[in-house]
A and B are shown apart, each in its own frame.
Chain A
Amino acid sequence: MMNKKHIKRSYDPASQKMIKKAEAEDIKIVWDRYDAMQPQCGFGELGICCKICNMGPCRIDPFGEGPQEGVCGATKDTIAARNLARMIAAGTAAHSDHGRDVANTLIMAAKGESHDYALKSTDKLKKVAGVYGIDTSGKSVEKIGEELGEKCLAEFGQQRGNLRFISLAPKKRQQLWEKIGITPRSIDREVVELMHRTNMGVDNDYKNIIKQGMRTSLADGWGGSMIATELQDILLGAPEPVRATVNLGVLKEDQVNIVVHGHEPTLSDVVREAAKDLELLALAKKYGANGINLAGMCCTANEILMRHGIPSAGNFLQQELAILTGAVELMMVDVQCIMPALSNIANCFHTKLVTTSPKCKFPGVEHIEFKEEKALEIAKNIIRLGVENYKNRAKKKIDIPKEVKGLIAGFTTENAFRFLGGKYRSTYRPLNDAIISGRLRGAAGVVGCNNPNIRQDWAHVSMVKELIKNDVLVVQTGCSAIACAKEGLLTPESAFEFAGPGLREVCEAVGIPPVLHVGSCVDNSRILIILSEMVKEGGLGEDLSDLPVAGAAPEWMSEKAVAIGFYVVASGVFTVFGTPHPVLGSENLTKYITHELGDIVGGKFAFEADPIKAAHMMIRHIDLKRKALKLGPMMHQKKIH
């Protein structure tokens, strides 16, 4: 055999092994389905297929010979803009619905209706309560928590005023949003309005559609996602830097392996408790297992990784591969990024798949609904299923890749730069100074998914290495963070090997990795606050768009990534996506979001599939910002041309 398919499909050696195994056993996985789907429809790829009304479907001929407008008369600009806007709406809806659930859980915990949760971070509670203008004097933690939860919850359906968290953005940014008319007023309302506007025969001006798209995305980043992040910190504890391990090798051959997959930590956090239950451990022993091994997958993994150091089995494209090890007794899933294929893959092995959210079910898959009131009890019941399934393992089918890497996770807005300032001087000053002095070039957020259209992890890893080599400090979330963790980049030691001299000095001085893991994909909101703090600290301009920073999603696939991209751009940050948004069928729209937006909101998109070229685009942008800020030359490095 000289088939090198596994190497082309993934950069990660553990994944490669499992891809090979799938091939040997003739089990079709995501890459096979991707191959079978080729060629993919160009109309869809270009964004010029419209299925919004029943006069359609309509498609615009990108080569100009066929129809140039839909039955209703919609041009390619209108069609592509409506489609893109609906992606933003869906992405915002996903993040925000997550935030809504967290707000509900916070209220229940505060009222004592769900005993398995407590308000773990009172510091954070008080800080966020302050943002919401809650008078905390003389009130119990529970009372404050309840009031905050209710205020957050109210923002979803709020009819007057604006979202509270936008007050954390620099004044100039707030004024700009107000001037353009994209200040988010409420969370659900912006999504609803965007869906209304993109309905047949409403908004036909692609620029106006994208404007509401930006407003909606801001309701995600500065609304739904931020509520999710901040309230989770209050409820489950604010993360602190923690050492942990990552990749399929965290699965254990002699233990019951339970994988939690999805996005919402309310369940997984309790599952972690349940896995320590003595009775369950005894049961595991009875079945011959040496314990219960809990591992995460996707962003649920990131949540319990950064709060508790629970190992992560991998990122998005590894969900099937984890099952392919043959060693997973149970995979429980909540919401988002859960491949429908899982039930079939699980059927090839003994793995039990359990759904837990009323929003996410599979035909024929056992559903054990998660309820906050009985969280621990339900978590134990699910784990018990896994333990009892241990006996059904087919020893012959077990094949766990050895690959494991260490990482440090758990950096947050509050703690990340405390390190830079030293333990007693929690301030962004040293970060700003390092940038101003040219020791650091700037910072970049590299985030997003995996996608079989790009070799798994390769774009993340290549881009991040190129950035840190050029003295750009990188912050990461989601599957991108896991990708780089698997490469060992999320360790202080990696600074020696990969970071440029300036960044290395900083990392060495304070003992942090050159690549900071700041959480799950809703935690991209942390990045917004970090940037705002940098502006507040002074010396790097007055607005987010003045900062020498850039964003990227090199392997994106989800609608959530589009929403994130837009709130980052609308917040003033230049952002590179790997494969393009489905907009290339409309020259006008493409020009609008990749050029003209820069003059309107300060941020704009670029599409570049080559991660090195993309990194260079980011570096060039950072250098331009440095120049505009009249910062001195880089201490150790030259310009990238």
Chain B
Amino acid sequence: MNYVIIGGSAAGVTACETIRKHNKKSSITLISDEKFPLYSRCLLTYLIAGTIGEDKLCFKDKNFYKENDIKTYLGKKAVSVDRKERRVSLEGGTKISYDKLLIATGATPKSVDVPGVDKKGVLTVRKIDDARAIMNMLDNVKEIAVLGGGLIGLRDAYALRQRDKKVTVIVKSPQVLSQMVDMDAARVIASVLEKNGIKIMTGVAAKEIAGDKSVESILLDNGERLACQLVIIGKGVKPNTELASSAGLKVEDGIVVNEFLQTSDKNIFAAGDVAETYDIARESGRINALWPCAVEQGGIAALNMLGKKKTYDGSLSMNSVDFFGLASISMGITKPTLQLRSGSVVSEVEPPKEEKKYEIISRTGENLYKKFVLKDNKIVGMVLVGDIKTAGIVSALIKNKIDVSSIKDILLDDDFNYAKIMPLVKKFGDKFGQEEFNDTVITY
């Protein structure tokens, strides 16, 4: 068997690892358009911030490919897939045959449609080369504008602030993290960012990026002009679906897959940021471009490529951030009145009748916000700011759709902890899906 994997990040690498774990003999080939192997994209902002060096960027041992006997084409882009011949063509003409193919081509930062966006000093943070470029500029940069107040924009801003730069975040929506959390949580998070010297401007957009060759300032649609020597576009990502589309695979927001992560071609699988999978909380297809989802999907796709029928329960949107010691986690449906779909906010308010189906419990304190969204007595989403210790426990309740009516009124408590769900574990046992749950209640 020839297993070919396109994409060398979380999904692709996990797939290689999983295939090799179960099959010592078959040939595994990994194709990546990046030269630097096995690095974790999510760590790039930590690299920019100076928290870690390049030596800490890898999420696997540097001999991983060698030790697992994986043939690699690094720095080579896959340009087409011939499904009939079961062949992948790389730029430069190399052709690689496959029996089973995994497309884990990931995503690309979205750009903005603003004059001057092509100037020197306008960058995104996705690849290691982007991070290196920014770090090379830092000595000559005092002021930085970050376009986008979402997760990516804020992470970029936070990293650069740690380099003692004057950072302004320009946010189109009336709040930061509008896709991740509600207004109340956003307020708590924004206030910590501002207290630590990051300027946040909401409800404004960039109108023009000005400068001779390189960026010198940015003009906003409220008429204000900010001096800046670096503009970071942190607006989110779009899936790299071109390869799949051109091969004639079914693509909607991302590559459409079934519960085995199989595309419309039974020999081709997709995983990670490019795959549109079943979203557990929303009960519909969605791209959840997240590291944990990519790892899990890579592993499950690999098992299915090996012919071991393994169902993917679905993905769950979830994010964890920590800004200046204020930790926040969001998961699932956090703003039930907004239809969130695949990274693009459609500010379509659901009919009030629908809204009534959701029950919201929340609590606010100093640097603290907790909110749970319930539907039919099952938790479908949460936001935790400041105190995140129960996030994982709740994630299990969301994932496994556990009826929480009996613990609803203690969910917000400071001392909510695993013990509080033990009666549910005892009652619903196998619904929790992991044998370890039963281990905890043997004597309960």
Chain B residues 358-385 with CB under 8 Å of chain A are 359, 361-366, 368
Q: How far is A39 from B229 in the complex, measured between Cα atoms in Å?
A: 56
Q: Is the CB of A1 within 8 A of B368?
A: no
Q: How far is A35 from B412 in the complex, measured between Cα atoms in Å?
A: 13
Q: How far is the CB of B50 from chain A (nearest CB, A)?
A: 34
Query: CB-CB < 8 A to B410: which residues of A?
Result: 5
B408 located at the interface, meaning its Cβ lies under 8 Å from any Cβ of chain A in the complex: yes
Q: List 5 A-B contacts (CB under 8 A).
A: A3-B361, A3-B409, A23-B363, A35-B413, A38-B415
Q: Is the CB of A3 within 8 A of B415?
A: no
Chain A residues 1-37 with CB under 8 Å of chain B are 1-5, 23-26, 32, 35-36
Q: How far is the CB of B165 from chain A (nearest CB, A)?
A: 34
Q: Interface residue tally of chain B, by bracket?
A: 10 to 19
A28 to B, closest residue via Cβ: B414
Q: Is the CB of A2 within 8 A of B414?
A: no
With known contacts A23-B363, A26-B365, A32–B409 Cβ distance under 8 A: no
Query: CB-CB < 8 A to B365: which residues of A?
Result: 25-26
- Pick from A1, A24, A32, A38 the residue with the most CB of B within 10 Å: A1
Q: How far is the CB of A283 from chain B (nearest CB, A)?
A: 36
Q: Mark B187-199, 1 if CB is under 8 A from A, else 0.
A: 0000000000000
Q: Is the CB of B408 within 8 A of A2?
A: yes
Q: How far is A32 from B359 in the complex, measured between Cα atoms in Å?
A: 25
Give chain A's interface residues, CB within 8 Å of chain B. Answer: 1-5, 23-26, 32, 35-36, 38
Query: CB-CB < 8 A to B364: which residues of A?
Result: 24, 26
Other-chain contact of B363, A3, A32, A36, A38 (Cβ < 8 Å): A3
Q: Is the CB of B409 within 8 A of A5?
A: yes
Chain B residues 382-412 with CB under 8 Å of chain A are 408-410, 412
Q: Is the CB of B409 within 8 A of A35?
A: no
Other-chain contact of B415, A4, A23, A25, A36 (Cβ < 8 Å): A36
Chain B residues 86-122 with CB under 8 Å of chain A are none
Q: How far is A24 from B409 in the complex, measured between Cα atoms in Å?
A: 15
Q: Is the CB of A2 within 8 A of B415?
A: no
- Sample of 12 further A-B pairs with CB below 8 A, known A1-B363, A4-B409, A23-B363: A1-B361, A2-B359, A2-B361, A2-B408, A3-B361, A3-B412, A5-B413, A24-B364, A26-B364, A26-B366, A26-B368, A35-B414
Q: How far is A36 from B415 in the complex, measured between Cα atoms in Å?
A: 6
- Pick from A2, A36, A38 the residue with the most CB of B within 10 Å: A2
Q: How far is the CB of A40 from chain B (nearest CB, A)?
A: 12
Q: How far is A2 from B363 in the complex, measured between Cα atoms in Å?
A: 11
Query: CB-CB < 8 A to A23: which residues of B?
Result: 363
A5 to B, closest residue via Cβ: B409
Query: CB-CB < 8 A to A2: which residues of B?
Result: 359, 361, 408-409
Q: How far is A25 from B365 in the complex, measured between Cα atoms in Å?
A: 6
Query: CB-CB < 8 A to A3: which residues of B?
Result: 361, 363, 409, 412
A26 to B, closest residue via Cβ: B365
Q: How far is A484 from B154 in the complex, measured between Cα atoms in Å?
A: 56
Q: How far is the CB of B80 from chain A (nearest CB, A)?
A: 56
Q: How far is A36 from B387 in the complex, measured between Cα atoms in Å?
A: 14
Query: CB-CB < 8 A to A1: which residues of B?
Result: 361-363
Q: Is the CB of B363 within 8 A of A35?
A: no
Other-chain contact of A35, B362, B366, B368, B415 (Cβ < 8 Å): B415
Query: CB-CB < 8 A to B363: which residues of A?
Result: 1, 3, 23
Query: CB-CB < 8 A to A32: which residues of B?
Result: 414
A37 to B, closest residue via Cβ: B415
Q: How far is A25 from B362 in the complex, measured between Cα atoms in Å?
A: 13
Q: Is the CB of A36 within 8 A of B414?
A: yes
Q: How far is the CB of B377 from chain A (nearest CB, A)?
A: 12
Query: CB-CB < 8 A to A25: which residues of B?
Result: 365
Q: How far is the CB of A323 from chain B (nearest CB, A)?
A: 18
Q: How far is the CB of A16 from chain B (nearest CB, A)?
A: 14
Q: How far is A24 from B363 in the complex, measured between Cα atoms in Å?
A: 7
